Structure formats: C-alpha cells, structure tokens
C-alpha cells in the first residue's frame, strides 16, 4: 500500500497488509486517513457497501475511479471519502479527507498504489474449533480472505474480519448478505429472511437465510454476521447445502483468543 499524504503533525498507523490504517491530522480540524481490509467479495464496490463501510448514510454519492478500480465518492458537510475494492489485491479501501487544510480526496487518490506489491496474507480468517463442530467437516480450500470446510453436501466458508461495523439490523444484514454469498462461490443469491441469533464465542449475531445456485443446482444457505468486541472486527460466515443448513457448525468459528 503506497500513498502520498500531507506532512501533518499527528500520526497513527497500523501498517499490516491485510488490515491496516494510516492517519495524519494537523490538530486543528484537518485530517486524512486511509484504511483497508482483506475483502473476498467479487466485483466493484456497491454504493450500499460504501455507505455501510463509512457510516455515511446520507452523504452525496458519485461514481469515480481509483487506480483503475471503480470507486464510490461520498461527500458531506465534513469532507469526502472514497471507497473502492481492489480486486488485484482482494482488499476494500476507504480514503477520507476532511477539514480546510486537507488535500482534496481526488488529488490524494491519484497518489494511491493499492496493488503495487503481491499480498502474501489471506487476512484475519477465524480458526475452527474442530471439537465444537458436531459433524465430520474436513478442510476444503483456502483463498484470499476465506477458508472453507465441507461435510457431505454441506460447505461452510469463514471470511476475514473487517474493521467496518456489522450490519445494524436484520434489514441491513439481508441487503449485505448476497455479496458474501457470491464470495462463497454461489450465484443468483437472494436473501429470504433474517433474525437475531447466537454467534460464535457468545457474540450476538444476525442470521440471514436464502437461496442461490451452485453450478446450476439450487442450494440453501445460512449466513451469520457478528461483531467481535475483542478483535474490533466484523465477521461473516456462511454454510450452504441442498437443504436449509443449520447454523450450528458456524458457532465453531474462533474469532478471538
């Protein structure tokens, strides 16, 4: 990750390739910040994802480009934020600029190299407590920001944690679910319902249910979203099969210590 930021006095950063941030502030109301997470969802970022990633629900939204990627520019009274998914490195980026002395976000974006280096890490993907599974799942595969396990016709996929907040309610979870279903390799995802549920390690969660296709065959899926307070990350995990799968195996995910 490379970017040219202004030489403001206050700095903070966590320069981890999978999940990090860099912030510069001048101490009198101007700041720029860029943050990123491994994000296995395919395709360009949708406006609703950009809004959820920034909390800018009522900002003006414009389509633009950053480093060759489709991006959403969100602008409000305080400043402007660019959100884009870099499919070359499998990460979601958020670049914000606010205050009178901060450079324009579009100018900052011209200095961004989001996929200059080969990313070695798959991100903060939860482990699975095998003893807690209750069924003989076996390792299936690992990808950028994902790990999958299978048991007969059931497949569960756990995704890398994201710094962005969890969906705030069942409706938001239903809207957010299809892109994660696509990240699990399914097509034509539709969400039928969502409700509050028990998540892994005692975290409150939202469960979403729906249908999708796998190589032309109809499948049913159950997806969990939860926020891990210990790690300050939002996690998603899905299980699918021919019949509506029980979410219980997803509770074997271990997001923190």
Nearer to Zn ion, 72 or 228 (CB): 228
Distance in angstroms (rounded) separating the CA atoms of residues 182 and 174: 14
Least distance from C-beta 149 to Zn ion, angstroms?
18
Distance in angstroms (rounded) separating the CA atoms of residues 100 and 22: 19
Least distance from C-beta 111 to Zn ion, angstroms?
13
Least distance from C-beta 36 to Zn ion, angstroms?
10
Strand partners, 145: none
3-class SS of residue 193: strand
Nearer to Zn ion, 151 or 162 (CB): 162
3-class SS of residue 142: strand
Distance in angstroms (rounded) separating the CA atoms of residues 200 and 93: 27
Nearer to Zn ion, 134 or 204 (CB): 204
Burial class (CB in 10 A: 0-12, 13-18, 19+), 23: middle
Nearer to Zn ion, 114 or 239 (CB): 114
Least distance from C-beta 110 to Zn ion, angstroms?
13
**Interface positions with Zn ion (CB under 5 A):** 67, 86, 88, 114-115, 201, 228, 230, 255-256
- Contact between 39 and 8 under an 8 Å Cβ cutoff? The reply is no
Nearer to Zn ion, 127 or 196 (CB): 127
Least distance from C-beta 78 to Zn ion, angstroms?
26
> What's the token pair of residue 139?
């390792």
């Amino acid at each position: 990750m490379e970017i040219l930021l202004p030489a403001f006095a206050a700095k903070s950063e966590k320069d981890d390739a999978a999940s990090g941030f860099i912030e510069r502030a001048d101490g009198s109301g101007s700041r720029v910040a860029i943050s990123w997470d491994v994000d296995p969802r395919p395709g360009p970022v949708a406006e609703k994802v950009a809004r959820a990633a920034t909390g800018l629900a009522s900002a003006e939204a414009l389509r633009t480009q950053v480093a060759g990627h489709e991006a959403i520019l969100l602008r409000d009274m305080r400043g402007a934020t660019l959100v884009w998914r870099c499919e070359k490195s499998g990460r979601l980026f958020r670049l914000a600029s606010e205050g009178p002395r901060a450079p324009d976000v579009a100018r900052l974006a011209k200095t961004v190299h989001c996929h200059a280096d080969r990313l070695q890490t798959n991100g903060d993907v939860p482990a699975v407590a095998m003893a807690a599974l209750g069924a003989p799942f076996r390792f299936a595969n690992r990808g950028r920001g994902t790990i999958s396990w299978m048991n007969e016709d059931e497949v569960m996929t756990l995704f890398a944690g994201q710094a962005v907040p969890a969906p705030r309610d069942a409706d938001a979870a239903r809207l957010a679910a299809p892109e994660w279903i696509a990240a699990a390799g399914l097509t034509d995802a539709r969400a039928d319902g969502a409700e509050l549920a028990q998540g892994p390690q005692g975290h409150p969660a939202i469960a979403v249910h729906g249908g999708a296709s796998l190589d032309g065959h109809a499948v049913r899926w159950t997806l969990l979203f939860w926020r891990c307070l210990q790690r300050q990350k939002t996690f998603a995990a899905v299980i699918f099969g021919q019949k509506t799968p029980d979410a219980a195996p997803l509770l074997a995910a271990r997001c923190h210590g």
